[in-house]
Amino acid sequence: MTLTALNTAATPTHSFPIRVYYEDTDAGGIVYYANYLKFAERARTEMLRDAGFHHTAMMAGDGIMMAVRRVSAEYLKPARLDDALDVTTSVKGLGAATIELDQSIQRGGQELCRVAVTIACVGRDGRPARLPATLRQALSTQIQS
């Protein structure tokens, strides 16, 4: 199977809800800093899935994988046990083999954490690979300035 999916109904900013569970927190009931990156990863995966691009299909059909090349996080306020969070993801730019995304983790509209991430497209051999044309086309319509 090759990449052919294109969801033209995709919105420029993808939103993904997450609940904070006990396993996400430290002894004080505050989300452990590394778990914000896990929340962001889940949201990125679901953004791609909602656009019609599944990691298993990309690997099986085209031998393409997505790997984090660079990430930075700014922690603004703590999330706590049982909080209902929303992770928004916006496409900021596309390179030959990369996708640049901005993500925001919020609680009730209040920003708790900002994440900037560059995702690299790599082949089975781990070397950089061009973004598939269908993925590029789907994401290019979503670029936020």
In-domain check, residue 124? yes
In-domain check, residue 3? no
Q: Active-site residue 125, yes or no?
A: no
Average pLDDT, the chain: 90
In-domain check, residue 1? no
Q: Stretch 129-143: mean pLDDT, rounded?
A: 90
CATH number, domain of 134, equals: 3.10.129.10
Q: What is the pLDDT of residues 75-129, one digit of tens each?
A: 999 999 999 999 999 999 999 999 999 999 999 999 999 999 999 999 999 899 9
In-domain check, residue 78? yes
Provide DSSP, the chain.
-------TT--SEEEEEEEPPGGGB-TTSBBPHHHHHHHHHHHHHHHHHHTT--HHHIIIII--EEEEEEEEEEE-S--BTT-EEEEEEEEEEE-SSEEEEEEEEEETTEEEEEEEEEEEEE-TTSSB-PPPHHHHHHHHTTB--
Q: pTM of this prediction?
A: 0.88
Percentage, residues of the chain above pLDDT 70: 92
Residue range(s) defining the domain that contains residue 96: 13-140
Q: Which residue out of 26, 50, 82, 125 is catalytically annotated? A: 26
Which position has the token pair 């916006």? 90
Q: Stretch 13-38: mean pLDDT, rounded?
A: 96
How many structural domains does the chain have? 1
In-domain check, residue 7? no
In-domain check, residue 5? no
C-alpha angle 130-104-88 in degrees, rounded to nearest 5? 70
In-domain check, residue 2? no
In-domain check, residue 145? no
